[in-house]
Amino acid sequence: EQRLVQPHRTAAGHRVFTRADIRRLSFVMVAQRLGFSISDIREALSSLPEGRTPTKTDWTRLGQSFRAALDERIAGLTDLRDKLDSCIGCGCLSLKACMLHNTEDVVASRGTGPRYLLGDSPTDI
């Protein structure tokens, strides 16, 4: 139990979820499906008010901040997808440096596996 939602309990100990609880749980499920960690989700939910049902404005504010994180993730995944085919040959998988260190996949001619150590350049190997 991550305690992302605090439902009320009946005298018999059964949990009773409010509409606000269900909306929070829905957000948690979608965010998890998108690959966000529980700590990321907890941080996003912390912007919602406690003790009252979040308003549309509250959810909009959460959505805007979460959208920035989503956009960053999408950009990273797009970059990975676009560069992975040409990058995987050298084994370094450094999306920022690979195109600089291994233009035209020259290192692949030296065999499979990683060929660079930190600080190395193509002339070093």
> In a structure prediction context, what are the per-residue pLDDT tens digits for the chain, which is 125 residues long?
667 787 778 899 898 888 888 888 888 899 999 888 999 999 888 888 887 888 999 999 988 988 988 999 899 888 878 777 666 655 666 656 665 555 666 666 666 666 666 566 656 55
112 CB burial (10 A radius; 0-12, 13-18, 19+): exposed
Closest of 94, 102, 108 to residue 121, by C-alpha = 102
Predicted local distance difference test score (pLDDT) of residue 86? 62
Condensed to tens digits (0 to 9), the pLDDT of residues 49-81 reads 887 888 999 999 988 988 988 999 899 888 878
CB under 8 Å to 48, separation ≥6 — which residues?
Answer: 24, 54, 58, 59, 62
The structural domains of the chain, ordered by start, are 1-80 (1.10.1660.10), 88-125 (no CATH)
Q: Is 37 helix (H, G, I), strand (E, B) or coil?
A: coil
* DSSP reduced 3-state for 78: helix
User: pTM for the full model?
Assistant: 0.60
* CB-CB neighbours of 24 under 10 Å: 20
- In the chain, % helix, strand, coil (3-state, to 5) comes to 55, 5, 40
